[in-house]
Every structure is written in structure tokens, then in C-alpha cells.
Homo-oligomer: A and B are copies of this chain.
Amino acid sequence: MTQLVIEGGKANAFRLAKGRAVKLVNTHGSQTVDAWALRAGDTSEYLSVEHTRRMLFKLFPAAGDLLYSNRRNPLLRLEEDTAPGRHDMLLACCDKWLYQHYGCEPGHANCRDNFIGALFDLGLDAHLVPNPVNLWMNVPVRENEKLSLEAPVSRPGDHVVLRAVEDCIIVFSACPMDVTPVNGDDRKPKAVCYEIQS
């Protein structure tokens, strides 16, 4: 299988046919990857974390779990997950307003623009930006209500396998965040890689 690289801070979008799977590898171990899925036949149906929480009755997905759409249909299955820790489904992707809030220079790369840009490269237009599944992003919940942003606990080579339950468009963004430690304590976005499996 061809292994494709996503540079740190960049994004890719691709089609994943029903029944096929994508293996995404956290090459350096510390990279958060924002992940979206849209239904290929009608992109107004998309992976919705607020619907997935309701269908799973959980804040975080685990290996074996289905991930549901805004129409309560399963779109993906999280088939394999080698890392300790969780995958965040609570926080919006980073966006230009967040970097503005942090006082960064205008034009800072961000997952929201990455999502829109990666869909554009595939010939599609984003009509909204769903709350993604933030793979490996370490946002622990404490006292059943408090959140914090911490460095990932995943290790180099940890991977997830996501299998398409329907024909999907997948977007992965290797999060460009360099202010908070969500991409490691060195705050340096790094490359990840993926391959389509049969």
C-alpha cells in the first residue's frame, strides 16, 4: 500500500469507499490529528460528535466503536487504536479566531482553514465546519466536568484504523497548534502518515 505523508500543520482530504479502511500513523507520537468524515453522496451528512456521544453514551470513542452522523447513521468504525489515552471529541478545531485570541500574527495555519482547503483541493466546498474527532488530542476530564489541554500520551508509531461504513470523504489535519501543548511539550507540529487498506 502507498503510504502518504501529511506534513505537520497541513491537511489531506481523500475518498474512502464503503468497506475500506484507512490506517493513520502518529509517526512521532505527539501529533494531534483533527479528523472529519462526510458522506460522499451527500456532504450535508457528516460525522457529528454531538450525535456520536448520544449514540455511545460516552465522551470518548474507543476501539470497536461506531462514529455516527448528524442523521444518526454510522459513517465510520474506529477499528484499531494502539495508543493509551483518549481521542478528544469535546473541543472545536483551532481556527483563525483562536490564534487571534492568543495574539498570533494573522495568517497562522489552523485546522479550520485546513479542512476548507483540503475539501477545495478535492473539488468540494465546505458549507460548515463540524466539530472534528481530535485523534490523540489529550483533553482529560476531571471531577466529571473540568477540562485541560495536555501533551498527547501516544507513542511514535501508534496508529488508528478507521473503516468506512458508507462511502466517505475523510479529512485529516495534522494540527498546526504551536501555542498550547496539544502537539507535545515542544509545541512543534510534526508529520503523520496514512495508507488506504482493502
Contact = CB atoms under 8 A, between A and B. Distances in A.
Contacts of A51: 92
Interface in A49-70: 49-51, 53-54, 57-60, 70
A128 B48 CA distance: 13
**Number of copies of this kind of chain in the complex:** 2
A18 interface: no
Interface residues of A, number: 35
A70 B50 contact: no
Interface in A95-127: 95, 97-98, 100-101, 127
A54 B144 contact: no
13 contacts: A48-B92, A49-B50, A53-B147, A58-B145, A59-B144, A59-B145, A70-B92, A71-B95, A73-B97, A86-B145, A131-B131, A142-B144, A143-B144
